[in-house]
Structure 1
């Protein structure tokens, strides 16, 4: 329950759920979003993240069983595959349904994901049509995955562009690109840094997030002459502030479902440069530029266009805002999930 897209979706749904008659609890490995929900009165149960080991899954099942026994939910909503396995093992001896929200996996993991979801989940909700189709192609025919696109939940307004830039030590007119992503192999920051090295001028790249590659990427920046133009910000819980400071956002991942970071960027009026994977083209639309995966030159060209061409930037801003209003309204998402959860509850009561 940190700063990732799935965590953002969980926090938004739990917070909005009371308006739909939901009583929600969260079982997670903790983090600042879990802390905020607990402070708001939401029951939060500690459950270690299920690593890819029998011991890790067993520990998560024991902790999840305590949460289920205490909270007694009608439905367990599991985000991603390992959580679905834990949820099914936790509810093995009753008829409590498991609904999976599938955010995507690496290419090689789709067959395994399809096998697990076939055995664990009453309903599988994919966050993008592309990921649903890939699950079907990998053999998930029962249950047939349905699609509910991710949405952007309202956040408190940031402190303003001028103040945030001043706090970061960035002059008002310097072009700024922001990448909101964990520093993990999936996100391919190496591609982004190679692209940034192709850009001349004083533009600054902000990297918000942390992870196992922090030290390696820091060394790469130091040895490539980018130290003055790249800032590592670590994990942040002030995304609206960072978006206010930025001109564009960028995401060079190898795979994604429908990244909430992209949707939040568009909703804040920030065009996006992102790699052509899974649900990204549907999310970006005309609100930015989609580039081939693992292509630093194309990424650099797209960043140059959106940072330096005012007309192209303005057109992308308008298109992105329109797409968010039309396709990613949180009320549409909540109504869809409400139907799914109530259908699962009715089936259990038969």
Structure 2
């Protein structure tokens, strides 16, 4: 088996190690000594925690995701390393990666370690890992290539601390229920609510950890409510508690929860990601208000044995299944699956890649699932056959089973003859600048009548459109499916679209290995169901086109 060169990217900043950073360290440690050449780009503080057997690349992560210094440093790392797999952790790292050019045969993976609403930066990723079932389901619903790889914890081989030992050490009344929190002292963890809720209850509350809220939380301590700072024996400490308490506003998959369950300690948690799918309903805190939290803890502290019994089946399962070894193994399997060459190559515009508003998968993914084939979706908003040649140069190879081409929407667009064209792929800051300039020039030109002076033309003239597609047809011997451009709900655009579809039909006649997918009339008869706006397909539209393609006689599932 050939070696894989992997680059892990973590763009978080600071000295505190949260769950995401711990998983990054675990992946690096797990890959070292295998058939992987391990590189990591991260803050200098995180790199200090990484084995020196990995190749370390420092990033100025104190900068924002849009800062040129951070982006240029990462770009230099990627160009130097030339990785087979780039694995970004968190949305900041994903945003940095999305803003950089794609490289041939380099797959992009991102792990989502928390509950996020705005996932636009995941567009174009080859795999999106959810670290809990809730995050995985959300990624699926949003139409991303979702993979479930739940967080894992290392086996704890240190001593387990008894309740009596801890109470003696901290001078607490061992006859009272002992609740314990552990983690970074950050606002999202909401430890201040736990401390206020426990103030009037006959319980001990111990909070282990450090972070930006330490001074503020210190003011809420009492004889029974203690902050004890960071502990090297935190996993063993969890065994001393009658229950571990987690009232976070949001989570990915809490490592403290997993460590507590592995120590046979029940967990009481808000219904955040990870906890909601693992814990029994009776152990989920139903409300986040201080009064409701106080009432829940008052009731729970009297029946802690019931919570332990309800969660007892989880204890052994967590120890066996939610391990770092299993997490790393699943990650390696994903890497190997991704670097297998794609069998189906899709080239197209916005209806090939799918819009940000699309609730579900675009048709290429649906075709891949129906035929059980690996796909490479090179669809891009605003793309023409000019971009198609660039994409094909990057992603075409001799082992393709089929190529799918759907262009015409932008190629047929009427524009000023005098306006220059700036490619959308490969993209860079200079091209983005010039595209903005061209857009302003076109807007100004229409106002002053430049179109009447110089005339109008199609964005890509029909002769060039045919020639560009013919270059791809000449380069491959596998079947090529030429997909008609569907009609636009702006009827003024449809004569040009039909002319470009006719040009496609001519190519299908000229090339024996080319087939035409007739979808114009099908979509014209059911625009209400098949479109989400005047131009873009709805989920039903993508499903219909995928069905038409998948049933073609030249495409049969292996």
Q: TM-score range by the shorter chain?
A: 0.7 to 0.9
Q: Find the aligned partners of 1:73 and 1:101 in 2 and give their Cα distance.
A: 17
Q: Does 2:36 correspond to 1:22?
A: yes
How far off is 1:262 after superposition? 1.0
Q: Find the aligned partners of 2:240 and 2:80 in 1 and give their Cα distance.
A: 44
User: Where in structure 1 are there 5+ consecutive unaligned residues?
Assistant: none
Q: Find the aligned partners of 2:232 and 2:56 in 1 and give their Cα distance.
A: 19
Which secondary structure does the structure 2 equivalent of 1:25 belong to?
strand
Q: Find the aligned partners of 2:35 and 2:280 in 1 and give their Cα distance.
A: 34
Q: 1:77 aligns with which of 74, 78, 87?
A: 87
Matched with 2:186 is: 184
Matched with 2:246 is: 251
Higher relative contact order (CA 8 A, sep 6+): 1
Normalised TM-score (structure 1): 0.79
Matched with 2:262 is: 267
Q: Find the aligned partners of 1:136 and 1:102 in 2 and give their Cα distance.
A: 13
Q: Are 2:191 and 2:247, in contact at CA under 8 Å, matched by a contact in 1?
A: yes
Q: Are 1:209 and 1:236, in contact at CA under 8 Å, matched by a contact in 2?
A: no
Q: Find the aligned partners of 1:91 and 1:20 in 2 and give their Cα distance.
A: 29
Q: Are 2:197 and 2:293, in contact at CA under 8 Å, matched by a contact in 1?
A: yes
Residues 19 and 299 (structure 1 numbering): CA distance in 2 closer, same or farther, change over 3 Å? farther
Question: Mean Cα displacement is larger for which, 322-331 or 72-81?
Answer: 322-331
How far off is 1:146 after superposition? 2.2
Matched with 1:12 is: 26
Matched with 1:65 is: 75
Which secondary structure does the structure 1 equivalent of 2:195 belong to?
helix
Matched with 2:122 is: 117
Which secondary structure does the structure 2 equivalent of 1:73 belong to?
coil
Q: Find the aligned partners of 1:28 and 1:236 in 2 and give their Cα distance.
A: 25
How far off is 1:319 after superposition? 2.6
Residues 304 and 342 (structure 1 numbering): CA distance in 2 closer, same or farther, change over 3 Å? same
How far off is 1:148 after superposition? 1.8
Q: Find the aligned partners of 1:165 and 1:59 in 2 and give their Cα distance.
A: 50
Q: 2:224 aligns with which of 215, 223, 229?
A: 229
Number of residue pairs aligned between Structure 1 and Structure 2 = 329
Q: Find the aligned partners of 2:104 and 2:315 in 1 and give their Cα distance.
A: 45
Residues 171 and 86 (structure 1 numbering): CA distance in 2 closer, same or farther, change over 3 Å? same
1:157-236 to structure 2, matched below 5 A, reads 157-158=158-159, 160-161=161-162, 168-170=170-172, 175-201=177-203, 203-211=204-212, 213-219=213-219, 221=220, 226-236=221-231
How far off is 1:216 after superposition? 3.2
Residues 83 and 169 (structure 1 numbering): CA distance in 2 closer, same or farther, change over 3 Å? farther
Q: Find the aligned partners of 1:185 and 1:148 in 2 and give their Cα distance.
A: 27
Matched with 1:38 is: 51
How far off is 1:256 after superposition? 1.6
Question: Mean Cα displacement is larger for which, 317-326 or 164-173?
Answer: 164-173
Which secondary structure does the structure 1 equivalent of 2:284 belong to?
strand
Matched with 2:112 is: 102
How far off is 1:150 after superposition? 1.8
Which secondary structure does the structure 1 equivalent of 2:329 belong to?
helix
How far off is 1:248 after superposition? 1.9
Matched with 2:378 is: none
Which structure dedicates a bigger proportion of its chain to helix?
1
Q: Find the aligned partners of 2:165 and 2:57 in 1 and give their Cα distance.
A: 37
Q: Does 2:330 correspond to 1:336?
A: yes
Which secondary structure does the structure 1 equivalent of 2:340 belong to?
helix
Q: Find the aligned partners of 1:99 and 1:144 in 2 and give their Cα distance.
A: 10
Q: Does 2:351 correspond to 1:346?
A: no
Q: Find the aligned partners of 1:333 and 1:6 in 2 and give their Cα distance.
A: 13
How far off is 1:164 after superposition? 5.7
Q: 1:129 aligns with which of 127, 133, 136?
A: 133
Which secondary structure does the structure 2 equivalent of 1:273 belong to?
strand
RMSD (Å) for aligned C-alpha atoms = 3.2
User: Where in structure 2 are there 5+ consecutive unaligned residues?
Assistant: 1-14, 343-394, 398-558
Q: Are 2:84 and 2:105, in contact at CA under 8 Å, matched by a contact in 1?
A: no
Q: Find the aligned partners of 1:306 and 1:19 in 2 and give their Cα distance.
A: 46
Deviation string for 1:199-237 (max 9, x for gaps)?
125x132242312x3333333x1xxxx422222234454
Which secondary structure does the structure 1 equivalent of 2:273 belong to?
coil
Q: Are 2:66 and 2:96, in contact at CA under 8 Å, matched by a contact in 1?
A: no
Which secondary structure does the structure 1 equivalent of 2:106 belong to?
coil
> Which structure: larger Rg?
2
Q: Does 2:235 correspond to 1:240?
A: yes
